[in-house]
Amino acid sequence: MAGRVAASGLAERLRDLIRENGPISIADYMQICLADDRAGYYKTRDPFGEKGDFVTAPEISQMFGELIGVWLRMVWQETGRPRPFHLVELGPGRGTLMADILRAAGGDAHWQSAVQLHLVETSPRLRAHQKERLSSSPLSGSWHDTLDTVPDGPVHLVANEFFDALPVRQWVRVRAGWSERVVGLDAQGHLVFGLRPAPQSVCPDDLPRDPPAVGDVLEFSPVRNACAREIGRRIADAGGTALIIDYGHPRTAYGDTVQAVADHRTVPVLQDPGNADLTAHVDFDAFARACRQEGIHTSALMTQADFLLSLGLLERAGRLGHGKDQETQRSIEDAVERLAGPDQMGHLFKVLCLHDRDVPPFPFR
Among 120, 282, 317, 332, binds ligand SAH (CB under 6 A): 120
- Report the C-alpha gap between 360 and 296 in whole angstroms: 11
Question: Segment 150-209, which members bind ligand SAH (CB under 6 A)?
Answer: 160-162, 165-166
For the bound state, the minimum distance from the C-beta of residue 93 to ligand SAH, rounded and expressed in Å, comes to 3
Size of the site for ligand SAH (CB under 6 A): 19
Asked whether the beta carbons of 321 and 258 are under 8 A apart, the reply is no
Contacting residue, 112, 122, 310, 329, with ligand SAH by CB under 6 A: 122
User: Which is nearer to ligand SAH, 68 or 302 (by Cβ)?
Assistant: 68
Closest to ligand SAH by CB, 42 vs 178, is: 42
Among 91, 141, 274, 346, binds ligand SAH (CB under 6 A): 91
- In whole angstroms, the minimum distance from the beta carbon of 137 to ligand SAH comes to 17
Pick the binder of ligand SAH from 26, 32, 97, 218 (CB under 6 A): 97
* C-alpha dist (Å) from residue 155 to 23, 276, 311: 40, 33, 21
Measured in whole angstroms, the distance separating CA 253 from the mean position of its chain's CA atoms is 19
DSSP assignment of 138-195 equals: SSPEEEESSGGGSPSS-EEEEEES-GGGS--EEEEEETTEEEEEEEEE-TTS-EEEEE
Q: Which residue is nearest to ligand SAH (CB)?
A: 91
Closest distance of CB 260 from ligand SAH, Å:
14
**Window contacting ligand SAH (CB under 6 A); options: 14-22, 92-100, 108-116, 228-236:** 92-100
Cβ-based neighbour number of residue 94 at 10 Å = 20
Residue 289 DSSP SS3: helix
Tell me if 28 contacts ligand SAH by CB under 6 A.
Answer: no
Verify binding: residue 56, ligand SAH, rule CB under 6 A: yes
**Amino acid in position 2:** A
CA–CA separation, 193 and 186 (whole Å): 9
Positive or negative, the CA dihedral 3, 8, 12, 17 is positive
Binding mask 59-88 for ligand SAH (x = CB under 6 A): x-----------------------------
Q: Which residues pair with 302 in a beta bridge?
A: 351
CB atoms within 10 A of CB 256: 18
Q: Which C-beta is closer to ligand SAH: that of 118 or that of 316? A: 118
Residues making contact with ligand SAH (CB under 6 A) = 42, 48, 56, 58-59, 91-93, 97, 120-123, 126, 160-162, 165-166
